[in-house]
Amino acid sequence: MEPPEAGGVVSTPFVTRLDGPAPEQEIARDLVRKRALPALPVVLLVFGLGWGLNGAVSAGYALVLVCLNFLLAAALISQTAKISLSLMMGAVLGGYILRLGLLTAAVVPFRHAGWMEIVPFAITLGVSHLGLLLWELRYVAGSLTYPGLKPTDHKD
């Protein structure tokens, strides 16, 4: 057994935790506020022109689910990292499965609803997951000096 460190706490990989800032929540909020919300009118217009009001509603519902998915993932990571890195890794894996289940539960009851158009919904769900991540990647700092978003000289 290892001797206790200062304060009587044994440092092992199972109890190591992160006490610093949580950049994942900042990134997820930025992704939703500055990327998804400005893209929403374009998504609604494109799918509204192609599938009418039902297409726009379906695409909007998909984009809302994507945003909630990103926010939930960030919350799971930031909250569990404060407890233990092992818990965080388990939460990332389990959270992925949980979030897939939640997405399924949010879709299955409405798949035959009159307002649901599957094609615009599926396109928006798939493309916006990857598209928003790639778009946000331009604004994330890749160094430990600035964890999270890159610093800006001007206000957005």
Q: What's the pLDDT tens digit per position in 38-51?
A: 999 999 999 999 99
Residue 150 lies inside a defined structural domain of this protein:
no
Residue 13 lies inside a defined structural domain of this protein:
no
pLDDT > 90: percent of the chain = 40
The answer to whether 25 touches 75, Cβ cutoff 8 Å, is yes
Q: How far apart are CA 48 and CA 51, in angstroms?
A: 5
Please state the domain count of the chain. 1
pLDDT at 9: 43
What is the extent of the structural domain holding 51? 23-137
The answer to whether 24 touches 96, Cβ cutoff 8 Å, is no
Residue 72 lies inside a defined structural domain of this protein:
yes
Tell whether the model's pLDDT for residue 111 goes beyond 80: yes
- What band does 134 get if pLDDT is binned at 50, 70 and 90? confident
Residue 102 lies inside a defined structural domain of this protein:
yes
Round the CA-based radius of gyration of the chain to a whole number and report it: 20
3-state secondary structure of 149: strand
Q: H helices within the chain, ranges in order?
A: 23-30, 37-81, 85-107, 118-137
Give the mean pLDDT of 43-71: 94
Residue 49 lies inside a defined structural domain of this protein:
yes
Residue 5 lies inside a defined structural domain of this protein:
no
Q: How far apart are CA 15 and CA 25, in angstroms?
A: 22
